[in-house]
A and B are shown apart, each in its own frame.
Chain A
């Protein structure tokens, strides 16, 4: 059974960099049929895609966040990571990692992590 688990600080100061890691178990992050992505949900709001990565390292980012986002993969640890720089209170959200099947366009997820709340505050 595939499991994704987010980890990282729950509190980040304004202007600093948010860093999260997603550990994958039950599948190889090098599986060529899937992309791996980050999605967030601000309190009381809807879902927002942050970006996705393929095992080869190819990345795709939300245009509205692209200047601040870096997603990377560590195949040796079966993990992928998110870095979001220059955070503000608007970046406070529950952050989810997810698997996105490549067939059909990689625009949908089949598995989600449980999510982790990141609060931006001094």
Chain B
């Protein structure tokens, strides 16, 4: 069981806005930056959001936010190439460890 909870699957149509969530607690998301990673067809993960920063080369339709102990990744204007698994991670103070969510499979209909 992962320390961070993500939806198992989310789907959306081309052009739609979708939001993925990552829920933790005050020992992790509540106090540390969250990273989001895109993994297409079991290739290497790619960072699409670090904290509130968009890495170079990532389209600005990706955005991140955090409220309390839940982080969110929003994709505005969903594209077919966004179909992938998305993972979140952060530091957990009580575990003294980096913790990951179980991942969300995003399907573009």
Contact = CB atoms under 8 A, between A and B. Distances in A.
Interface of A: 37, 46-49, 52, 60, 62-63, 96, 100-101, 103-115
Contact of B33 (A37, A60, A63, A103): A103
B109 interface: no
Given A46-B103, A60-B97, A63-B96, A107 B44 contact: no
B13 to A, nearest CB: 26
Nearest to A62: B97
Interface in B52-109: 55, 87, 89-92, 95-103
B84 to A, nearest CB: 13
Contacts of B95: 63
23 contacts: A46-B102, A47-B37, A47-B103, A49-B89, A49-B97, A49-B99, A49-B100, A52-B98, A60-B98, A62-B98, A63-B97, A96-B44, A106-B98, A107-B28, A107-B33, A107-B34, A107-B35, A107-B92, A108-B33, A108-B47, A109-B89, A112-B37, A112-B44
B97 A108 contact: no
A107 B37 CA distance: 13
Given A46-B102, A47-B100, A100-B98, A105 B47 contact: no
A53 B2 CA distance: 23
A105 B32 contact: yes
A115 B44 contact: yes
The winner among A37, A47, A106 for most chain B CB atoms within 10 A is: A47
B86 to A, nearest CB: 11
